[in-house]
Amino acid sequence: MKQWMYILIVGLSVGCAKNASKDMEVEASDAVQVPEEKTTISQEDAYTLLVTQKLQEYLDQQALAETHPDFDIQKVEDDGLFSAHEKQLKSIQFIAPFESITDSIKSVKTKVIFDATTDTLITYIQTSETEIDGETFKTTNITFGKPSATKTSTASRSATSKSIRTEKFSLKDLSFTWEEIDACDCLFMVKAKNTAYKRLYFARFKGDSTGILQLGRNTKKYTLPIEKHRSKNRKPGASWVETYQNDLYKIKVNATTTKPKIKGKFSYYINFTLDDLNSKEVIKSILLVNCKS
C-alpha cells in the first residue's frame, strides 16, 4: 500500500512540474514585443499632398472673399488661376517630369481635377533651410502659374516671373539717408499683409557687417549686425546665405542666382525670413531682387 502511495505522489509531482514549465513558456511568449511597422512616403506623394492643400486653400480664400468682401484676405496674385469657377478640388496629378529652374526651385506641369472640369497649371516648388534656435528646418514654398502656348522652358520662365516677382516701392517710403541708400548693395521691400505695418524694408550694406530693417513706411530703422556671413570667396553674382540679428529681430536671407533682369546688376530669387524675437511672429516671403553684388 505504501508503495502505491509513493508512486502516486511522484506522478503528481512530475505532472505539476510540467504544467509549471508550460505556464512559464506562455508567459515568456506573451512578453515578446512585435516591432511596429514603419511607413514611408515618397517625395512625389509628399509634394502631391502639399500642392493639394495649397490649391484648396486658394479656393477657400476665393470663396471667403466673395461672401465677406470686407475681410483683408491674402489671395493668390492671379485671381484667374482656373478657367472655370470651382470651389472644391477633387485631386491633382503631375503630368510631366519635374524641371529644375534654379538649385532650389523646380517646376512641374500639374493637372487639377474637379468634379465636372479639369485644368492645367504650372506648379513651382521652392525648398530652403531655415535655422531657428540653433536647429535647421527644411521649408517648402508652393506657388502657381498658368502655362503658355510656347515651349515648356519658356512657359516656366514666364510663369515664374508672375508668381515670384520684384516688389516695387518708392524711396520716399524709406527713413534711410541718401548715404545709407548709396552704401547698400541689396535693398528690397517685403509685403507683410497680416501685420500692423503691412510691409517691411530691408537693406544689406556693402561692408559685409550690418543690415537695416524698417517696419512700415517712414518708420524707425533697426540695425542688425550680420551673425553669419556669406562666403568671402564667392564670385560676384553667386548664390549666398546670410543671417542678421539684434535683440529684437532675426533675419535670414537665402539668395539663389537667376538670369540678370537689369543691366549692371545681379538678380536673385530671395527666400526671406523675419523672426520677431519678442512676439515670436514669423514673416516669410519669396521675391525677385536685383542687387549690386
Instruction: Say which residues have a Cβ less than 8 Å from residue 204's Cβ, sequence separation at least 6.
Output: 184, 185, 186, 187, 211, 242, 253, 291
97 lies in the same domain as 149: yes
185 lies in the same domain as 103: no
State residue 68's pLDDT score.
61
177 lies in the same domain as 103: no
pTM to 2 decimal places: 0.49
Mean pLDDT within 199-222:
92
- Going from the C-alpha of 158 to that of each of 149, 155, 229, 243, the distances in angstroms are 11, 5, 33, 31
- Grouping H, G, I as helix, E, B as strand and the rest as coil, residue 181 is helix
58 lies in the same domain as 155: yes
148 lies in the same domain as 259: no
Where does a domain end: 128, 163, 198? Answer: 163
131 lies in the same domain as 191: no
93 lies in the same domain as 47: yes
133 lies in the same domain as 209: no
Mean pLDDT within 196-224:
92
Q: When comparing pLDDT for 114 and 66, which is higher?
A: 114
State residue 225's pLDDT score.
94
Is residue 129 predicted with pLDDT exceeding 50?
yes
Is residue 262 predicted with pLDDT exceeding 90?
no
Domain assignment present for 15:
no
Per-residue pLDDT of 8-40, as tens digits, reads: 444 544 454 444 444 434 343 344 444 555 556
Mean pLDDT of the chain: 77
Q: To the nearest whole percent, how much of the chain has pLDDT over 70?
A: 72
Domain assignment present for 25:
no
Domain assignment present for 60:
yes
Per-residue pLDDT of 145-182, as tens digits, reads: 777 543 334 333 433 444 566 788 888 899 998 888 88
State residue 34's pLDDT score.
46
State residue 276's pLDDT score.
93
Mean pLDDT within 207-215:
91
Where does a domain end: 97, 130, 163? Answer: 163
Confidence category of residue 187, pLDDT binned at 50, 70, 90: very high
- Grouping H, G, I as helix, E, B as strand and the rest as coil, residue 239 is coil
159 lies in the same domain as 199: no
State residue 131's pLDDT score.
62
State residue 141's pLDDT score.
83
Domain assignment present for 8:
no
Q: Are 276 and 284 in contact (CB under 8 A)?
A: no
150 lies in the same domain as 184: no
Q: When comparing pLDDT for 137 and 177, which is higher?
A: 177
182 lies in the same domain as 154: no
Where does a domain end: 121, 140, 163? Answer: 163
Q: To the nearest whole percent, how much of the chain has pLDDT over 90?
A: 23
Per-residue pLDDT of 77-87, as tens digits, reads: 445 677 667 77
- The domain in which residue 76 lies consists of 43-163
175 lies in the same domain as 68: no
Instruction: Say which residues have a Cβ less than 8 Å from residue 101's Cβ, sequence separation at least 6.
Output: 107, 124, 156, 157, 160, 258
State residue 93's pLDDT score.
93
Domain assignment present for 34:
no
Domain assignment present for 245:
yes
Domain assignment present for 198:
yes
| Domains: count for the chain | 2
Domain assignment present for 18:
no
DSSP E strand boundaries for 146-259: 184-192, 198-205, 210-215, 221-228, 240-245, 249-258
Of the listed ranges 171-175, 198-202, 210-214, 256-260, the least confidently predicted one is 256-260
